[in-house]
Chain A
């Protein structure tokens, strides 16, 4: 083609466009490969080369073209390949896929299923780009051509009507008309403050100077925003055309594109575009034969955030230190080299050709009253579909985050979205329906900025986010103004102290005062807005600051100094897991045993049935599998039992105040034990014939052998605790009665054992059992009459325990579980579910009972209905919805209802003047566990509703501390401490080989055959070699805090 000759007039441009389009038509198909930075990192260039090779090999050069295009925006799914003209959308394309795409899709028009995008909502495969939910709700005007053109080919841009707006302006419009058009469109600057673009141009246009400049600001420094990069890389000519039109309107002769140093591809592509435009005479003298002359130069930044500020940017172009200057004079009066200068950012310039081509009235129909047009957002952070999205102004956050962004990964909860970069703020979940435009964001305490939207989930700590931005700002503050230089530093120090657990409540007030001072006394936008991240997080997330300050807790587990070792931090019983693991690693098992016993009255139990929250937060899982903490604890306890090791009890001063504990479950026993260690005489009253609560009555022996429980009970009794069984609250004793017997304080920990009813017809029939009652019977050695076919209803641990126990009953032949949701939503511990399935329990998911079928008052079956998962409820779980017409019948002899338990405190404490909640739990102050009645405390399931063993232990320990304060005559106040171990154990040096080989041991279990009809413990212990090896794998997070580092430094 006779290209690269200057285009001498407007007609010639049209002719060239027609010629390009004619040439294009010869080739029927185009394979576009996204060449954005994201896809680059995924290896798109190699994919494109492979396509070219394959096309040559198959001799398709004349009918198929391969084009590396600008960014398609859906970076999450790169490398992206779209086959035009159909728009077939293939994602995550690998080199090995190339051949198949050519032979199947290109040659035979067959779609390759595995390369399609699967909509996670519907699980359906999507063939066409337009139908992908990520694109469906977008309105891609500015970005529209990105995916069609090769940014290094000017003819691609001309083919999509490129430079026609310039042609229109030069042939038919005067500069004031252009300015008027831009003003009428309502376009506002896309770089931050949103100043009306037309008015800005007008000021520079009217400035009395023969020499004027325009600048394109691509110093996109806001972390988390990259739409300018993508535009300049993906469609540089659209930016150039916008600048040309602006220069014509303003009367500028030279323009500069200031690109940050971190964007090498953008520099390359815009430089190439300028070269090509010059050759076409679209830049230079007498453009398109008119008397308008203009040229553009690229200026590369060198890495300074503040240089994005207008005056600083101009200084940087001049080769000086990029610090802001006092305004006025504004750049429109005295800018680059002292001449009037108009600065707009990339996205603003790219809007201009569309406004000129389609008209201001078309443009101003898009968007809201005050904010016109579309806006490109970079949707990043904790979001499923990360990428660049272009939507009309006024779209709600919910639509952007959930409909386009596909929501939060891993089913986590959305917490906030940060907009506007370091000058912006965090918008909380409550404002999810906020329509996004300049005004609404400002009202919410944030700004549009350049359009970064960083999505944060429950694992993000908002105080840490504030610290992050302050760290950024103190680092990027140019230092010119003291208020900014020192203020950002001091604010950072305060917030850092908060995240380190070393600040006081008063520091918050100081922080707010300082924020005001920095805002008022700084020269440029950086300082004036430096307080925003702090102010907006304080506005919406003050409670998180307070949790850090008062409780020294970081709920998101982010703040390293507060969290210390996560295993210890998360444990409700304060077990120093990292300490005893370190001791196991050194072979000091006796000391490990002491550390375990020190904090936990029921460690033999926990070593077996704890739901081990510690393992869920173990950092070893970031590189492999978590440390087998529970198995290690059990190993130490088993070792101690086999060596007949008895822990010594600390000496104590005996006190006279008697304490009563009602309920010998984990909460009651823990409180009793700790109070006894403090010297108080404690009596525990237990309703059933045995001590242990649910540990003895609920959990079957295949999970918890009774000698393990006995070992812990022996130790508790040895500490001085008296346990009286067969004593029922409300029947044999009352709270008031205990006080009159001389007890000075009472702790109620009666648990939550009441089975919830199915609320279906036939529930009263013989053969319908309650889960808790069935388990109580078998655990007390009583006969539970089960038929041959048993169905357990429910998905919690009680259901699984009941089903696994029934499997061990010789009279049962078939045991099934009916659960109305899917395995994913099952609240039972997943290892228990797995074991139940292994043992032959038939779990039917998405099934719910409708009616118990009876004959002569006896169960003969169940009528059930199939369910499907509907929309998410408040808990974030998808609600089961019955599928009408899907009823089915099951033949059964026994139905065990285990859909949940609840407390029954009202009937137990009738007439005792103790406040009871609507859930029949006792109302307590969560800080102290005190009830409304002086001297009466309550904890464990009776206060919290059904929870785990280790939480009950934690509650018992907390109650003991409060009760001790009460007995000493002080108002109970919970004491919070930084999470630190009681001692730092020297770390082990592992060889590289050992590190590479280390992996979590497989926990031995009884074979399924051996479990048949037997209540022998299923899970077996580790041997010493396995335990030591596993303990050596620990990453020792306790040594990552400043204290930990210091302690080890001292020891070595």
Chain B
């Protein structure tokens, strides 16, 4: 991933280079690059005069941040309680099987990243899966294959 220093600096400037804005700054960087590239974190550390370890600390503490590049499609399977009792784990199993990756991993062809979330607050639709901000409620195992085909070629690596 090529990181343009100017782009990161602009994001920092939008937040007035304030230390207290570290989380929104990282959120904006992730929105730009789909993950937090190490180069960008260094720029943040230098600009905010924050030790890199503190920046990385925040980046690794919060679940929403990823230090690894993510696939073109991010599949998020909700495992909140309501989704759990309605069979969410079986949906996750099916995605893992069909994509041949575990939760938290990205397919080799970079088409899909599979993630889990502890609740999306859309419990009435459970079990729910979100693919790139599209919500798919009342998921059934048989829908998994169709969704994978719809969002990209699911290569069995």
Contact = CB atoms under 8 A, between A and B. Distances in A.
B46 interface: no
8 smallest A-B Cβ distances: which pairs? A75-B124, A303-B63, A302-B62, A223-B80, A226-B121, A41-B135, A223-B119, A319-B22
Contact of A321 (B57, B63, B126, B133): B57
Interface string B24-51: 1011000000000000000000000000
Contact of A622 (B18, B136, B142): B142
Contacts of B118: 221, 223, 305, 472, 475-476
A377 to B, nearest CB: 11
Given A222-B119, A319-B20, A622-B140, A76 B124 contact: yes
A318 B20 CA distance: 5
A985 to B, nearest CB: 19
Contacts of A305: 118
B145 to A, nearest CB: 9
B23 A319 contact: yes
Interface in A26-42: 37-38, 40-42
A465 B123 CA distance: 16
The interface centre, meaning the residue of A262, A300, A469 with most chain B CB atoms within 10 A of its CB, is A262
Query: Which among B24, B90, B121, B133 has the greatest number of chain A C-beta atoms within 10 A?
Result: B121
Contacts of B64: 261, 301-303
B3 to A, nearest CB: 20
Q: Which of B20, B22, B23, B90 has the most CB of A within 10 A?
A: B23
B63 to A, nearest CB: 3
Contacts of B128: 41
Nearest to A460: B85
Nearest to B97: A1040
Contacts of B22: 319-320
A624 B142 contact: yes
8 contacts: A75-B122, A223-B118, A226-B122, A261-B62, A300-B23, A318-B20, A319-B21, A468-B81
A322 B85 contact: no
B140 A41 contact: no
A322 B122 contact: no
Nearest to B116: A475
A438 B42 CA distance: 49
Contacts of A472: 118
Q: Which of A456, A623, A624 has the largest number of chain B CB atoms within 10 A?
A: A623
Residue of A264, A321, A382 ringed by the most chain B CB atoms within 10 A: A321
B151 interface: no
Interface string B61-102: 111110000000000000111111110001000000000000
A380 B62 contact: no
Interface of A: 37-38, 40-42, 75-76, 78, 220-226, 229, 261-264, 299-305, 316-323, 378, 380-382, 386-387, 418, 421, 452, 454-456, 460, 465, 468-469, 472, 475-476, 478, 622-624
Q: Could you say which interface size class chain B belongs to?
A: 35 or more
A38 B82 contact: no
B122 to A, nearest CB: 5
Contacts of A454: 81-82, 85, 123
Contacts of A37: 120-122, 135
Contacts of B141: 622-623
A931 B22 CA distance: 73
Given A76-B124, A378-B82, A623-B140, 16 more contacts: A41-B128, A220-B121, A223-B80, A223-B123, A224-B81, A261-B27, A300-B23, A301-B62, A304-B62, A378-B123, A381-B123, A386-B123, A421-B81, A454-B123, A478-B61, A622-B141
A302 B126 CA distance: 22
Contacts of B23: 299-302, 316, 319
Contacts of A478: 61
Contact of A319 (B58, B117, B136, B140): B58
B26 A302 contact: yes
Interface string B120-154: 11111110100001011100111000000000000
Contacts of B137: 38, 41-42
B55 to A, nearest CB: 10
B155 interface: no
Contact of A40 (B27, B83, B85, B135): B135
Contact of A224 (B20, B123, B136): B123
B124 A38 contact: yes
A226 B123 contact: yes
A622 B62 contact: no
A955 to B, nearest CB: 33
A452 B90 CA distance: 23
B111 interface: no
A480 to B, nearest CB: 11
A380 B122 CA distance: 10
- Among B58, B61, B120, chain A packs the most CB atoms within 10 A around the CB of B61
Nearest to B135: A41
B9 interface: no
A304 B64 CA distance: 8
A400 to B, nearest CB: 15
B140 A382 contact: no
B119 A319 contact: no
B85 A456 contact: yes
Nearest to A422: B81
B148 to A, nearest CB: 12
Contacts of A322: 61-62
Contacts of B122: 37-38, 41, 75, 226
A460 B81 CA distance: 11
Contact of B121 (A263, A469, A624): A263
A356 to B, nearest CB: 28
User: By CB atoms of chain B within 10 A, which of A223, A229, A454 has the most?
Assistant: A223
A779 B61 CA distance: 74
Contact of A418 (B62, B63, B81, B133): B81
B85 A622 contact: no
Given A222-B119, A321-B58, A380 B82 contact: yes
A938 B113 CA distance: 58
A468 B84 contact: yes
B121 to A, nearest CB: 4
A452 B142 contact: no
Nearest to B62: A302
B81 A302 contact: no
Contacts of B26: 302
Contacts of B136: 41
Contacts of B57: 321
Contacts of A319: 18-23, 58
